[in-house]
Amino acid sequence: MLIKIYPQNPNPREIEKVAAILQDDGVIIYPTDSVYAFGCSLKSKKGLERILKMKGIKQKDVDFSIICTNLSNLSHYAKVDNATFKLMKKNLPGPFTFILPASNRIPDTFLDKKKTVGIRIPENPIPIAITEALGIPMITTSLKDDDEIIEYTTDPELIYERYGHLVDLTIDGGYGGNIGTTVVNCTSEEFEIVREGKGELIE
């Protein structure tokens, strides 16, 4: 199923439909402020397993991130000190993934013996509205393309043609970008940019 949701004003009824699919172990494709991504509920072990299968990867070999709605409930899911919080506040919402020590509210099935979690607060109203309606974070991982020239697929109709039969819902939120997020490791005293991406970090 392909549905159109406008980023400027996401339709609450459509957003509720998406949240209901996620609550029922569903997997979706949705736009962010960087690239299109796969998503499932943080509580959905089945959804996570389906995403791993689609990407042809093992959980031990990948670091997933979660979508949070804002910084106010961040401490539920990650341990964050004052310096890191200030850094995140300057840069979020935006195309960044901040790697933080995970809290005990992150399910073991998600962590798979890892101790960290990637935090995303995209500057796109669609994933924020979905996560708010879902009531818990969404697991997120970018939609990589096999084509070396265009690393990320940007056209939602082409994404639907290619992946639509594998997921429960594809959201057309307009053309996506083809540059991933900037990834910042905040697990030691010095912040470290581990991947340069779309976002330019303000320190």
Decide the pairing of beta strands 116-120 and 96-101: antiparallel
In the chain, the number of structural domains is: 1
CATH assignment of the domain containing 153: 3.90.870.10
* pLDDT tens for each residue of 139-155: 999 987 555 555 568 89
Q: What is the pTM of this model?
A: 0.93
Indicate if the pLDDT at residue 35 is higher than 70: yes
The answer as to whether 202 is a domain residue is no
Q: Is the peptide bond before 31 cis (omega within 30 degrees of 0)?
A: no
The answer as to whether 69 is a domain residue is yes
Helix (H) or strand (E) holding 16: helix 12-23
Task: Report the alpha-carbon distance of residue 168 to residue 18 in Å, rounded.
Answer: 9
* Domain interval for residue 11: 2-195
The answer as to whether 19 is a domain residue is yes
CB 202 within 8 A of CB 192: no
* pLDDT tens for each residue of 16-30: 999 999 999 999 999
Residue with tokens 């406008």: 6
CB 36 within 8 A of CB 2: no
* pLDDT tens for each residue of 165-188: 999 999 999 999 989 999 999 999
Strand partners, 37: 30, 142
* pLDDT tens for each residue of 60-82: 888 889 999 999 988 899 999 99
